[in-house]
Amino acid sequence: MKKVLHRAESRGHANYGWLDTRHTFSFANYYNPERMGFGALRVLNDDIVAPGRGFSTHPHDNMEIISIPLRGALEHKDDMGYRSVIHKGEIQVMSAGRGIFHSEYNKSHERDVNFLQIWVLPNQKNVEPRYDQMSMKKVERKNGIYQILSPDKDDDGVWIHQKAWFFMADFEEGHREVYGLREGRRNGLYLFVLDGAVDVEGVLLQKRDGLGLWETEELTITAKQASSVLLMEVPMNNG
């Protein structure tokens, strides 16, 4: 088993007034040659957007972009006429495919919004742009790992053009769980702690710490306190 540890305080940071953002991997003005992603996981941004502010219309192509609000609500608009609002407890994916222009704004003019912006490299290029969105309340469970994203349209959660699986885990203190990778040693798993503290194969992770593991088929997670964790299983060869 191989591991790479990214402590919360080691992330790239920028504050533009309207946007306070932290980057686990190289992004925008933050560049670290040792942090160019984890397999097919290319971007993991922890964004706080001021009330009424946001990202003006900009392009994307050939990327699977996942948004998960942790606080507040985020509004999306695009050049295909699509418009939606995602709230805490929901997940949205945009397959940019052959190209799309969109904007993202804090829906509230009174409170900030905190959301994770995650990019995954696709295994198909120039697909038809699309969105998928759902409430995670449909699948959530206490003291368990529940799936929120997969490559299968008919499976739990939203779906993307990649052999990747995302899960949420909500554990009470002392709970222990063994996770088996869906694609075995072909994939790796990146864990990102949203709240609390967990031990993963002897590594203590606290709020906003990240840990990548690969060349293994399973791993053990033990909650050292009440915790919420995002698990992202992705191909290590971007295939």
Tell me if 127 sits within 8 A of 61, measured CB to CB.
no
Dump pLDDT digits (tens) for 138-154.
898 889 999 999 999 98
pLDDT confidence of residue 238: 62
Mean pLDDT calculated for residue range 39-46: 98
Of 55, 97, 53, the residue nearest 77 (C-alpha): 55
Residue 212: CB partners within 8 Å, gap ≥ 6?
A: 3, 4, 6, 38, 188, 189, 190, 191
CB 25 within 8 A of CB 35: yes
CA distance 143 to 176: 9
* Rounded Cα gap, residues 177 and 171, in angstroms: 9
Condensed to tens digits (0 to 9), the pLDDT of residues 83-111 reads: 899 999 999 999 999 999 999 999 999 99
d(CA 197, CA 206): 4
Domains in the chain, please, with CATH?
12-137 (2.60.120.10), 139-235 (2.60.120.10)
Give this prediction's pTM: 0.96
Cβ–Cβ < 8 Å for 111, 72: yes
Q: Which two tokens stand for residue 9?
A: 């305080």
